[in-house]
Structure 1
Amino acid sequence: MTSQGAPSLRDLYNNPSSSWSFVPVVDNNGNGASSSSTSASPAEASSYQWSSRNSLYDISSGIDIEPSSLNVSIAVRGAAMSALLVFFSTAVEIPWEVGKTLLQVQYVPREAHAVEEPEEVTEEEPPSEDELSADNDDAYFADEDGSSSRVNTPRPTDDRGYVIRQSVSDSSTRASYVIPLGTANGVWAMIKQVARWKPEGWLGLWKGLATTCLHNILLSKTQPVVRSILAAFFGPSNARSFSRPHVLSDFILSPFSLIRTRLIVQTSAVQHRRYTGPFDAFNQILHMYFHPQLFFPTILDSATHVLAESMGPRIAARLFSRLLGFGPNSHIAEDTHPFLWALAQLTSSCACLLITVPVDTVRRRLQAQTRGSAAPIATCVETRRRPYVGVVDCIYSILVEERSDLPLRPKKRRGHERKASRTGKERADAAETEISEPTSWLRNTGIGQLYRGLGMRIGANVILFLLTLFVPTEDADDGWTEL
């Protein structure tokens, strides 16, 4: 029996045709061309028209990818989402701005002292009969004319009969809407103080929110314009190394800073409030912006930020290169040493705060004062009654007149020390105890008043440094952000 193998398929193989075949298009009358079983020639394939509809997805294949007109609904929706994002981010930031601004403008003279806290109620032993008889004898033979506590000395008054306030520590003449002096030494402490103070409350932490939102929106719109102008004059690379674009944009929008400062500083009490909103404040104090004592600090503040942010990282990078032993031809750059460059930015940013924070403090104090024909405002914190003449006078007055040991701790006295029937020996011992109380050197200098909010800004720079390490950003040339 002979076995026969399977037939070979080699003879049945044909080379595939390189030409295309198409399905004929059916016209409107329902007449269709006959399908050709044979492959069409290249000339016929090139002259054939594609079908207007896709048989697989049943969609039109002739869609115009480029829009011919702007979709208004999508543009409005995008603008609304962007505005909401700016609003919520500003709402998180503005309480810290309120606390920092109030700390910067608060006036704390050297002779200021805190109001005594209410004494604690303590149970005391009833006095004996001998002590009662001795107290009665002292009271009987006491000289009433020599007792200063019983003499009502008249207090100076103004033309309208109101008592003139001699000191900011006088709680009897302090307005009910003014926060007590020296109760906060940091931004977080001031935030808590504003929230607890009845005329302000929690809503007082969001004063100037609308102004800040409008400022941030306009800032984002003017950044591309400033960037293009810098690139046209200095070139793209030089424009980026010169300064951050938003610094110059912030100078253009600096009137919003004046409005925001005065809205934050004024009290929230309705009967004493001067401005009802940002537009009302804009109409009343716009002419104040060009006052020399306000315009020059704005230029100084912007120029200080420009120099600090353009030259600071380079100086810090060169210092790190020398400390780490880099060669003369090698230096720290963003593309070669990203971690060291970020560390140099952090170091320079914290070091530049020693210059920029005092300038910002002086600018806020000058903005809180009334200039020109503008009406004075009732502030929610203590401010200097006599206005500053300029930048130099403001710095000198802060260093010479104010104290920095905040908060001012009130002295608690025991019940037997506050009794009116104390003997002379007990009064002398109490006075000696008060005189011998140690005082800090910050009581005799106002240098701490120039650096209110410094810790918060350093913390913000550290957080931003950590974010740049773990969360890469799309645009690395935006620089650092300062609260």
Structure 2
Amino acid sequence: MASHHSQFNQSPPNPLRPYYIPPPPVPFESSAPASSANTTYAAPSSYAILQDFHEYSSDYLDSPSAGEAIRRVLDQAILKYTSILISQPFEVAKTVLQCQYVPRKEGGRSKHHGPRGDTATTEEDVGDSEEEEAKEESEEDNPWTTFETEVCFYTQASLAPDTGPRKMTDRAGYVLEEKEAAPRPDYMIRKVNPSSVNDCLKALWAKEGVWGIWKGTNATFIHSVLVSTLEAWTTSFLSAVLSLPDPGVTEIADSTHPLASLGVAVAASALTALVLSPLDLIRTKLILTPASSKPRNLLPSLRTLPSYFIPPSLILPTTLHAVLPSFINLGTPYLLKAKLHLDPLLNPTAYNFLNFLSSSVELAVRLPLETVLRRAQIAEAKPERTIVPVGRYAGPIGTAWLIMKEEERGKWGIEGLYRGWRVGAWSNAGVLGLGLLGVQGGTTHEF
């Protein structure tokens, strides 16, 4: 046995492993139970292997079962539908205010519409006031002319026709009829304040009840789900084709090509809006038509369209409404992180405040585009009855010009393009408050 050990230790090293030192040999045990025990614990059992694999898969391979996946999708759908139920009355009121035609009111007797539609003081009124002041001064100087002046005044007043207050005329000189003087049809709601969402909700509730303020809820839910799903799929597809990181997985600010990823995300938003434009048109039509009009379901309403593709008149307003707000929303995190070097965890106050300013700018850009788009949609749908008189559509720029020049424009002159702005403003304020409290919002793509 000793000679065997010496031969083992003195064996030449393997040329392929010159630095390998073999371990000392294990002494031979003569007892059988000990050898059987060593054999039992030498190799792991199959149960231990399966247990280790299960622990590894539970830690690194998080793949829920089919039941859990379905339950998760149902929970997200219920949460989404509930949020739409809460916000739908305000969206209905905002859409009604945006499409409602509100003719401009006359301020006073010294105001008139000039050739460009603006209000100005006439030269005749200025001359009349100057003549009255001169007459008062002359009467004080010569009281004997008072009687003669009064006689002439009464004589001229008795012979002059009673024309009444001045009426608005067009450029050709014809008197314009007051449309609001005529009684409204039974299917229309009463005239509402164009700047009050609450007044519009009261009018809808008084006319149509619950069905009036929750119009188009199912269409809004389906449209919202399809927008998030199709936009995420389009973004992933374009990113894969162009060999870019998916903005849905990696943030644009962390991308290797942030500007290209931003362009892909904005393009996906525009393509999604163009594809789903017929569904958005039906949603607007369901909101602006009476609850008694037929059809009220989504599929029968889609069948009434001449085509399932976007009408040519809606391509430009739909593209503008999708591209510009998306560019501001998606480009803000890149600007704050990459250019201003602000982190939401390290600089929460500054980050949330600048994000609030960006949301306000996005709201200021989106509302005029949304107003023009809604009027274009209702003009394309051509419903027989609407709950309010709707304004005409004359292209994106022409419609905005008509709203500012022919309709009630408010104190600042542009409030006709920002009807229902309080809904978005309160939403942005709520997001700012939650951000300052440390509550982060949900992800954009929930489905």
Looking at structure 1, the residues matched to 441 and 364 of structure 2 have their Cα atoms a distance apart, in angstroms, of 30
What does residue 55 of structure 1 align with?
A: none
1:113-164 deviation per Cα after TM superposition (whole angstroms, max 9, x unaligned): 9xxxxxxxxxxxxxxxxxxxxxxxxxxxxxxxx999xxxxxxxxxxxxxxxx
What does residue 378 of structure 2 align with?
A: 368
Q: Does 1:218 align with 2:238?
A: no
Q: Which letter does structure 1 place at the counterpart of 2:354?
A: A
What does residue 392 of structure 1 align with?
A: 397
How far off its partner does 1:454 sit? Answer: 1.5
Aligned identity (percent) is 25
Q: Does 1:344 align with 2:354?
A: yes
Do the aligned partners of 2:266 and 2:323 also contact (CA within 8 Å) in 1? Answer: no
1:33-61 deviation per Cα after TM superposition (whole angstroms, max 9, x unaligned): xxx98695433323575679xxxxxxx97
From 286, 300, 312, the counterpart of 1:263: 286
What does residue 4 of structure 1 align with?
A: none
Looking at secondary structure, tell me which structure has more helix per residue. Answer: 2
Looking at structure 2, the residues matched to 225 and 262 of structure 1 have their Cα atoms a distance apart, in angstroms, of 28
Do the aligned partners of 1:186 and 1:453 also contact (CA within 8 Å) in 2? Answer: yes
Q: Does 1:465 align with 2:432?
A: yes
Looking at structure 1, the residues matched to 398 and 53 of structure 2 have their Cα atoms a distance apart, in angstroms, of 70
What does residue 308 of structure 1 align with?
A: 328
How far off its partner does 1:259 sit? Answer: 1.3
Do the aligned partners of 1:177 and 1:380 also contact (CA within 8 Å) in 2? Answer: yes
Do the aligned partners of 2:192 and 2:203 also contact (CA within 8 Å) in 1? Answer: no
What does residue 111 of structure 2 align with?
A: none
Q: Does 1:169 align with 2:180?
A: yes
1:276-330 deviation per Cα after TM superposition (whole angstroms, max 9, x unaligned): 2111221112638532221211011112113322445666889xx9xxxxxxxx7
Secondary structure of 1:287's aligned partner: coil
Q: Does 1:381 align with 2:388?
A: yes
How far off its partner does 1:333 sit? Answer: 4.5
Between the two proteins, the alignment pairs up a number of residues equal to: 330
Looking at structure 2, the residues matched to 216 and 251 of structure 1 have their Cα atoms a distance apart, in angstroms, of 14
Do the aligned partners of 1:101 and 1:364 also contact (CA within 8 Å) in 2? Answer: yes
What does residue 409 of structure 2 align with?
A: 404
Looking at structure 1, the residues matched to 53 and 245 of structure 2 have their Cα atoms a distance apart, in angstroms, of 41
Do the aligned partners of 1:293 and 1:391 also contact (CA within 8 Å) in 2? Answer: no
| TM-score of the two chains, using structure 2 as the length reference | 0.62
Looking at structure 1, the residues matched to 202 and 336 of structure 2 have their Cα atoms a distance apart, in angstroms, of 37
Looking at structure 1, the residues matched to 189 and 38 of structure 2 have their Cα atoms a distance apart, in angstroms, of 90
What does residue 290 of structure 1 align with?
A: 310
From 72, 76, 79, the counterpart of 1:82: 76
Do the aligned partners of 1:288 and 1:294 also contact (CA within 8 Å) in 2? Answer: no
What does residue 208 of structure 1 align with?
A: 216
Secondary structure of 1:285's aligned partner: coil
What does residue 93 of structure 2 align with?
A: 99
Matched ranges for 1:27-176 at <5 A: 41-47=37-43, 49=45, 73-111=67-105, 167-172=178-183, 174-176=184-186
Q: Which letter does structure 1 place at the counterpart of 2:421?
A: L
Q: Which letter does structure 2 place at the counterpart of 1:213?
A: F
Do the aligned partners of 2:368 and 2:418 also contact (CA within 8 Å) in 1? Answer: yes
What does residue 420 of structure 1 align with?
A: none
Looking at structure 2, the residues matched to 335 and 51 of structure 1 have their Cα atoms a distance apart, in angstroms, of 45
From 161, 167, 189, the counterpart of 1:179: 189
From 311, 315, 319, the counterpart of 1:299: 319
Do the aligned partners of 2:223 and 2:276 also contact (CA within 8 Å) in 1? Answer: yes
Q: Which letter does structure 2 place at the counterpart of 1:348?
A: S
Secondary structure of 1:389's aligned partner: coil
Looking at structure 2, the residues matched to 186 and 288 of structure 1 have their Cα atoms a distance apart, in angstroms, of 35
Distance 1:72 1:308, change over 3 A: closer
Distance 1:257 1:332, change over 3 A: same
Stretches of structure 2 that go unaligned for 5 or more consecutive residues are 1-31, 108-160, 164-175, 247-254
How far off its partner does 1:256 sit? Answer: 2.2
Distance 1:302 1:317, change over 3 A: same
Looking at structure 2, the residues matched to 51 and 355 of structure 1 have their Cα atoms a distance apart, in angstroms, of 64
Distance 1:226 1:472, change over 3 A: farther
How far off its partner does 1:275 sit? Answer: 2.8
